[in-house]
């Protein structure tokens, strides 16, 4: 099959070269590319076709896995939307594209390689190797992000959300819930000093949670002790970031109790009731990554164990971690693509979670 697919993408590139040479309004050379508006759509449709055939060649079975993941992601998002009355639960733009057409999303990073082959900047014999390197690298990032979105939405879905509120503020510190038909993962008005939840939701049994699907790198700035002069964060707004995220849930007495999660000026932060993070086995065993995980869990002031969601059975932290007094309590669950496994995680963490209270940061030190 690989040889057949290789001939297919190669033949498609050759046909595109011929078409470009014969089509008025297209000029392709090693140094320049010019495509006029009337033929631009046709040209890039042919580029996309070649890129998709190339993706099928270099990704192989991973493409089928991606199709299943995209379908599962779309399904769980649809379940959250229908249960809560949301018109849309927005994902980062690349994840939206992935959910709609996983093949096209995975092929997109290969389009520049196709263009290089068409222009002659790259020999056809070099395309396969370059495409395998770029295809696997970009696929790993995209599929990891899509899997995290599926897992975190699955936990939220299992909690039984029946209504969502957006979070509004006039001064950044006094927050209030607003009825909404749309929630956007990772959204916040950017702020050097404040971290806000992206939404509040209420469950069928009457519980209320503030949620934040936070970029892991942003957690470093939840500490009110981080000097503002060193702040290189995105200000808590990571709506279109494709990268490692953590689901943070805070139990509230009601929607009106929503407040900033961290406020550097007031030197307060709200401890996290539930944190869910997707980790791979290799990450749990890598000292550098493990150190960052422990440090961020300490910053979040966890009220309970970190819920670590792993794809594979047998994923575990090093045994020495259990004896480390600085390490957070963790519960590791192998969830694969099993919604029932996510429901078990949600059921375990939902019990006994009390309303969140903002605490002066100095009280922990």
- 45-67 average pLDDT score: 95
Please choose, from the candidates 100, 118, 99, 97, the residue with its C-alpha nearest in 3D space to the C-alpha of residue 46.
Answer: 118
Helices 124-158 and 2-22, interaxial angle, to 10°? 110
CA 180 and chain centroid, separation: 22
Taking the CA atoms of 256, 261, 262 and 267 in sequence, report the sign of the dihedral they define.
positive
Q: Which H or E run contains 306?
A: strand 306-310
Residues with Cβ < 8 Å from 52, sequence gap 6 or more? 103, 104, 107
* Residue ranges covered by each domain of the chain: 2-148, 159-364
Q: Please, are residues 95 and 73 in contact by the beta-carbon 8 Å criterion?
A: yes
| Residues 166-223: tens digit of each pLDDT | 999 888 788 999 999 999 999 998 888 899 999 999 999 999 999 999 999 999 888 8
Q: Please, are residues 244 and 148 in contact by the beta-carbon 8 Å criterion?
A: yes
Residue with more model confidence, 320 or 22: 22
Residue with more model confidence, 231 or 15: 15
Q: How many helices (H) and strands (E) does the chain have?
A: 10, 16
Ranges 35-49, 90-104, 312-326: which has the least confidence: 312-326
Confidence check: pLDDT of 356 > 50 = no
CB-facing half-sphere around the CA of 208: CA atoms within 13 A: 15
With bands split at pLDDT 50, 70 and 90, how would you rate the model's confidence at 228? low
| Residues 214-227: tens digit of each pLDDT | 999 999 888 877 66
Distances 108 to 6, 38, 226 between C-alpha atoms, Å: 18, 22, 38
Give pLDDT, residue 226. 67
The pTM assigned to this predicted structure is 0.90
| Residues 264-283: tens digit of each pLDDT | 888 889 999 999 999 999 99
């Amino acid at each position: 099959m690989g040889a057949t697919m290789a001939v297919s993408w190669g033949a498609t590139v050759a046909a595109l070269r011929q078409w470009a040479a014969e089509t008025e309004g297209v000029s392709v050379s090693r140094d320049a590319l010019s495509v006029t508006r009337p033929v631009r759509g046709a040209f890039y449709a042919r580029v996309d076709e070649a890129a998709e055939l190339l993706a099928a060649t270099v990704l192989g079975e991973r493409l089928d896995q991606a199709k299943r993941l995209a379908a599962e992601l779309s399904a769980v998002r649809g379940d959250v939307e229908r249960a809560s009355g949301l018109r849309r639960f927005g994902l980062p733009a690349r994840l939206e594209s992935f959910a709609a057409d996983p093949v096209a999303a995975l092929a997109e990073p290969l389009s520049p390689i196709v263009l290089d082959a068409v222009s002659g900047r790259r020999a056809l014999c070099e395309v396969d190797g370059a495409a395998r390197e770029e295809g696997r690298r970009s696929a790993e990032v995209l599929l990891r992000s899509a899997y995290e979105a599926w897992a975190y939405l699955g936990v939220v879905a299992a909690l039984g959300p029946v209504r969502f509120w957006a979070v509004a503020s006039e001064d950044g510190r006094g927050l209030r819930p607003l009825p909404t038909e749309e929630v956007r993962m990772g959204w916040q008005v950017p702020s050097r000093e404040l971290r806000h939840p992206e939404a509040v939701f209420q469950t069928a049994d009457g519980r209320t949670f503030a949620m934040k699907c936070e970029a892991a790198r942003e957690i470093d700035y939840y500490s009110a002790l981080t000097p503002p002069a060193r702040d290189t964060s995105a200000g808590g707004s990571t709506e279109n970031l494709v990268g490692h995220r953590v689901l943070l849930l805070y139990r509230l007495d009601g929607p009106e109790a929503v407040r900033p999660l961290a406020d550097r000026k007031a030197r307060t932060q709200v401890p996290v009731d539930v944190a869910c993070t997707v980790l791979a086995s290799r990450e749990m065993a890598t000292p550098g990554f493990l150190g960052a995980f422990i440090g961020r869990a300490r910053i979040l002031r966890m009220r309970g164990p970190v819920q670590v969601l792993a794809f594979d059975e047998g994923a575990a932290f090093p045994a020495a971690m259990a004896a480390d007094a600085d390490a957070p309590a963790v519960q590791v669950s192998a969830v694969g693509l099993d919604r029932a496994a996510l429901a078990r995680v949600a059921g375990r963490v939902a019990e006994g979670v009390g309303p969140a209270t903002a605490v002066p940061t100095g009280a922990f030190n």
